[in-house]
Amino acid sequence: MAKNKLKSRLNFYSFTITLIWFVLVAASFSWTIFHHKQEIKNIAIAEAKAFLSWDEALRLWAASHGGVYAPKTSHTPPNPFLGFIPEREVQTPSGVILTLMNPTYIVRQLTEDFSDKNGTITHITSIDPMNPENTPDQWEESALIDFTQGVHEKIAFVDIDNTPYVRLMRPKILTTECLQCHGIQGYKVGDLYGGISISLPMTRLLSHLDTHKQIMLIGFGLLLASGIIGILWTRNRILADIEERDRMEAKLRESEEEFKTVSDFSYAWEYWINPDGSLRYVSPSCLRISGYGPEQFLNDPQFLQSIIYPEDITTFQDHISDELKSEHVCKKNYRIVTKSGEIRWINHICQPVYNENGEYLGRRASNYNITQRKTAEEEKEKLIRELQSALEKVKVLSGFLPICSSCKKIRDDKGYWNQIEQYISKHSDAEFSHGICPECAKKLYPDFNYKKK
């Protein structure tokens, strides 16, 4: 259940991170496109300003020369709006008729001749135009009104015949060179008499943006895909790690259960000492042997020392200080005082513990209750001592004794014949008193009345 919950949370986090990554990539892509659009707008504005500056420079040059004379043709007819100028037309000595082209006429003809090539539209306009073709459109009229309020430049991005354009317009201030044409309208030097607008198509620039957008779309798509793949790979890796961890934990739990089963049901009092001297495990058998439960020893690592029999405390402390440094199996016998006050003998065996990497994990110890064995040994030793004491007081005759069949003397190991009582007295602690048995008495003293006696 917990595993499924963890997987659900991991899936939720993976989905959330993927969504956040998608939003970040999309936002980055949108911001990049927006930034490029702004750059394209800035480039378009810069180009429009360059064209408009060129237009203004051309007009200023033409105005400074009082206009330009060109041969009169069907393409360049006389300007009908300059009829008030006496020298609108002149004839050269060779008979060629020249017509005066004012700055507006020159720029209009250039625009008409080259507008089809670059799509740029230049328009000079005024609130009171001399030529009806110079009547401002709605945007230009709004710009002219703003110019009267002190605005020096107007910029807008619009669609003209479904083609995106950048429009730029600047005010026209009357100069001395302009009085030749506009003085008749009552304008004075320094008056605002109109404006020049330029409309620059952005098709070329936007086509570059579209191409760049496709390239960026591929790049950001790869970035998005790589991020999602990375997130999914990480998710799967984490799931694999979780499953591996679960397997290891299950194996560990199984090993711990086996260890706990073996240890908890061990007849001996088992415990595990950490390298720092603290107790890692104490088997329940300690309750049967000492009268104290495992928690008593786990909570207080010095508790074991407190129940050692006073005469054995030094031996125990020396052993404890040595066993943590020893790499060998250690054995020691000592006594403890149980909870009930009974004195019990403990046979202690411990050895170092290492993991599979050879790292030292402490010592594993086993305590066995050998009180009965010790008691039996003590009783045995006591009995032996008693027997030895008894044997010291008793001399025992054994072996083959040669005895005379007549006088009953015994021959010793040196070949001498000794009286039987003398031999026994010499080879044992027995003492003799002399008497005579009835048979011998009858034989030796036949005349003695034994019945009467």
pLDDT tens digits along 28-85: 999 988 898 899 999 999 999 998 888 888 888 888 888 899 999 998 999 888 888 8
Q: Cβ(280)–Cβ(273) under 8 Å? A: yes
Give the per-residue SS3 of 47-66: HHHHHHHHHHHHHHHHHHCC
Handedness of CA 214, 218, 219, 224 (dihedral sign): positive
**What count of other Cβ atoms lies within 10 Å of the Cβ of residue 175?**
13
Q: Could you tell me which of 291, 287, 267, 285 has the C-alpha nearest to residue 342? A: 291
End-to-end Cα spacing for the chain: 115
Instruction: Answer whether residue 113 shows pLDDT above 80.
Output: no
Amino acid identity at 115: S
What pLDDT digit, counting tens, does each position of 343-383 carry? 999 999 999 988 888 888 888 899 999 999 989 988 998 88
pLDDT digits (tens, 9 = 90+) for 205-235: 888 888 888 888 899 999 999 999 999 999 8
The one-character DSSP state at 310 is G
Using a cut of 0.95, tell me whether the model's pTM lies above it: no
The total of other beta-carbon atoms located within 10 Å of residue 10's CB is: 16
pLDDT of amino acid 347 = 93
The confidence band for 146, taking pLDDT boundaries of 50, 70 and 90, is very high
What confidence score (pLDDT) does residue 227 get?
Answer: 92
| 278-307 pLDDT, tens digit each | 888 999 999 999 999 999 999 998 898 899
Question: How much is the pLDDT for 453?
Answer: 46
Do the beta carbons of residue 57 and residue 82 sit within 8 Å?
no
pLDDT(1) > 60: no
Domains of the chain listed by start with CATH number: 43-208 (3.30.450), 266-376 (3.30.450.20), 395-453 (no CATH)
Q: Which two tokens stand for residue 47?
A: 């180009």
Q: Kindly state the average pLDDT of the residues 267-285.
A: 88
Instruction: Give residue 344's pLDDT.
Output: 94
